[in-house]
Amino acid sequence: GQQVMQIPQYQHVQEGEDFTTYCNSSTTLSNIQWYKQRPGGHPVFLIQLVKSGEVKKQKRLTFQFGEAKKNSSLHITATQTTDVGTYFCAGLPSGGSNYKLTFGKGTLLTVNP
Amino acid sequence: ETGVTQTPRHLVMGMTNKKSLKCEQHLGHNAMYWYKQSAKKPLELMFVYSLEERVENNSVPSRFSPECPNSSHLFLHLHTLQPEDSALYLCASSQDNWVEVLSRSGETQYFGPGTRLLVL
């Protein structure tokens, strides 16, 4: 079945440093979504990427979707303590069910003030 | 955020108990989902309902039984669970807009706060 690999599993940074998490799918994706889960909280939708090579920005967050629609990345510039949490990518496989998002294991980001 | 609510928030049950988890969404969505989140594992999709019809069942053991009486409510009935079933159970909903379904542009999912289940 489809697999979505996400690296790194953990990342600890000093406040102000940049952070990147990468997501790779074993199959081509129709779209990819990113979610953030704060400690003790639930996943909250951040963004969706649909087009090959798409880049979207939300303030200090930059999201990219690969040309082959099999990989994606989330980059945070100048991290803040409010960025702490686990970032998940979730891919919808091409040609499959419209409901079966496959989630990566997530990257847990901790920020040292 | 109160769009998707779940009760109870915490549950401890023995292996012979029967309990139910409840999810309610106030967003006017047509699709609802149950996910299981265990430590060090990806979010696992369990069931999907669209307009009260089950559209996905991800090979979930029969000790988990979903029920969707209407598009706003979703239940997960639990019986004779095992300790390895201890996890955070998350409910989610999505609009299930037919334009998005047909165009495969994807559906944003809105998650509830989850029920943290411990099976002893």
CATH at A108:
2.60.40.10
User: Quick count: other Cβ atoms within 10 Å of Cβ B112?
Assistant: 28
Query: Is B35 in contact with B46 (CB distance < 8 Å)?
Result: yes
- Check CB contact under 8 Å for A105 and B40: yes
Average pLDDT over all residues of chain A? 94
At residue B53, the pLDDT reads: 84
The pLDDT score that the predictor gives to residue A14 is: 98
Q: Which residues of A touch B111 (CB under 8 A)?
A: 35, 42-44
Put simply, whether B112 touches A (Cβ < 8 Å) is yes
* Pick from B31, B43, B108: CB nearest A99: B31
Q: What was the pLDDT predicted at B78?
A: 96
Residue-wise DSSP of chain B: --SEEEE-SEEEE-TT-EEEEEEEE-S--SEEEEEEE-TTS--EEEEEEETTEEEEE-S--TTEEEEEEETTEEEEEEES--GGG-EEEEEEEE---HHHHHHT-----EE---EEEEE-
Number of domains into which chain A is organized: 1
Structural domain for A16, as ranges: 4-112
Interchain contact A7–B (C-beta under 8 A): no
**CA distance linking residue B115 with residue B95, whole number of Å:** 22
Q: Is the confidence at residue A6, as pLDDT, over 90?
A: yes
Which stretch of A13-22, A77-86, B54-63, B99-108 has the lowest confidence by average pLDDT?
B99-108
Average pLDDT per 10 consecutive residues for chain B, totaling 120 residues = 90 93 94 91 90 83 95 96 96 77 67 96
A25 and chain B in contact, CB less than 8 A: no
- Read off the pLDDT band of A43 (50, 70, 90): very high
Across the range A82-92, mean pLDDT stands at: 95
